[in-house]
Structures are given as C-alpha cells and as structure tokens.
Amino acid sequence: MDLEAIRAELHRAVDQIIDSHAGRSGGGLLRASVSDPVSVTAQEETEEWTYRWPGSGIESFHRTRWYEAAGEQGKQRVRVAWARRAAWGRDDRLRAIVFHQQGGVDSTTYYPWTEFVETDDGRYAAIIPKPGRPRAQLRDGDPLPDRFGDRVVARSDALFDSITEGSSLRFVVGEADEAEMVRHGYWVATLRNRF
C-alpha cells in the first residue's frame, strides 16, 4: 500500500471540495481530472542534509525523504529537502526543494528540479514553466497544460500578500503532498531536458 499516494489523492480531493464550495475563489483554478504518467514511490526518510549551491553558500535542510520517480524519462532517484529561508515578507518561509540525484546511489551530484515555497495560508506553491518556453513562467491567461487537470493552480498575488501584481501561475499542494511535488519536478525536468 502506497500511503504517500493515498495521502496525495486525499489532499487533492479535499482541495477540490473546498474550491467547489468556495466558488473557486481565493486562488484555485480547477479543471477536469487528468491522470499523471509519473509513478512515485517513497523510500527512506533522512534527517539533516546540506547542499552547496553553485556560486553561493551551503544550505542546511532539516529533513529529507528519498523517492523513486518513474516515467517516460526512466526511473530517477529524487530527494525532497525542507529548509527555511527569507522570502516575500517573511524571514522563515518553509520550502521544499525537489533534487535529482545524478549518477548512482553513491553520487553526491544533485540538480534542483523545482522548489515549493510556503504560501501565506500554509500551502506550498511552485512555478509552472511554459511548455514551449520552459525558462519562462506560465501567466494568467496562458493555456494551462493538461497535466494540471484536477490540480490547484493560483496566481502568485493570490498566494502571497506581499506580491501586489503577480500574474505568474503556481501549482499549489499541501505540505504532505511530497509525491505530487516529485511529479511536478519530473515534469519540469522533462520540459527543460534535465535527464
């Protein structure tokens, strides 16, 4: 039994019910359900971990969990790492970064696929790249890729009070939705040719 997958499905269902009763306001756009071709399997959880960012310092992560993500690009070993950093008016905003471990299981080479930042209401949001221009961000009014069918998508200015004019769209999940974070990271890495 994959408890992480069950947890993620329950969170999506709850978000869908809340949005339908709230008239889909408050920054949640929902569409028809679309299955995701990336399967995610939770592996061991670890405690503290550090990562040296290219050209800058070392960041400490207070907890991490390993995952195996399998899709069109094959099986990949992925680590979701949690840290706190200053952002959008807060000194201690929690964030989860999805790192791909490049090479074998003993490799110390990692590449960050995506980052989910804590929103003002306690959810977590990641940038959605434009499929045709994966270095650019998807904006309100752009066509939403099919993979976001039943997922919650919101404007940045609806998620962070300190952003007054933020038309970029973000994919929104709960803190326990690490498997969904990994799926998003896999999709972003596919768009950006990171395999």
pLDDT tens digit string along 27-71?
A: 444 444 456 789 999 999 988 999 999 988 999 999 999 999 999
Residue 100 has φ and ψ, to the nearest 5°, of -95, 130
Please state which of the ranges 20-24, 31-35, 76-80, 118-122 shows the lowest mean pLDDT: 20-24
| Residues 96 and 116: beta-carbon distance below 8 Å | yes
Task: State the pLDDT at residue 20.
Answer: 47
CA 145 to chain centre: 15
Q: Report CA 47 to chain centroid distance, whole Å.
A: 20
The phi, psi pair for 15, rounded to 5°, reads -60, -40
pTM of the model: 0.81
β-pair partners for 84? 94
Among all chains, which residue has been given the structure tokens 């790192």? 99
Tell whether the torsion through CA atoms of 42, 153, 174 and 158 is positive or negative.
positive
Q: What is the four-CA torsion angle of 130, 136, 138, 141, rounded to 10 degrees?
A: -100
- 142-176 residue pLDDT tens: 999 999 988 999 999 999 998 888 899 999 999 99
Of residues 123, 104, 117, the one with CA closest to residue 177: 123
